[in-house]
Amino acid sequence: MKKLSKKQREQFRHHGVLLQAAQEDLEEAIDDYNYIVAREWEKVKQTKASFDAVVSDAAQFTEGVADKIYEYTETKTEKWRDGDKGERYYDWLSKWSTMLYPSPYYEWREPVEMEAPKMLPEWTKESYPNSPNKKK
């Protein structure tokens, strides 16, 4: 074969049109996705801030209870603290001290924005690769 036939040139152009349309559709879908993710991520951040405030308040409460239990145990004798009753109080203290741990505070990663792959430049041009027999 020395060059493309008229039919092959038409098919090449036809595929180029289809590829261009598919590329545009993909880009539009990805743009829509990125918009929705960004909008919803803002809602997540706002809700997370509210969540963090509630957790902080709850942590202060549980720490306060744990402090009171500890203060109570410190008023007791060493014999009492080392006995069965003391052990039960220290178990109770441990449960209050660790109720919200491991801490729910952690780093959230923002969602990654998507990008559409770009088509090969040969398919986006009106022309097709020249025959090796054609002089430049």
In a domain, 109, yes or no: no
Angle at 45 between CA 64 and CA 51, to 5 degrees: 25
Report field, pTM of the whole predicted structure over 0.75: no
pLDDT mean across residues, the chain = 85
What domain range includes position 47?
6-101
In a domain, 70, yes or no: yes
CA-atom Rg of the chain in angstroms: 34
Q: What is the pLDDT of residues 5-60, one digit of tens each?
A: 889 888 888 888 888 888 889 999 999 999 999 999 999 889 988 988 888 898 89
CA distances from 4 to 8, 15, 127 (A): 6, 15, 12
Residue 102 preceded by cis peptide, ω within 30: yes
Q: How many domains does the chain have?
A: 1
In single-letter form, the type of residue at position 101 comes to Y
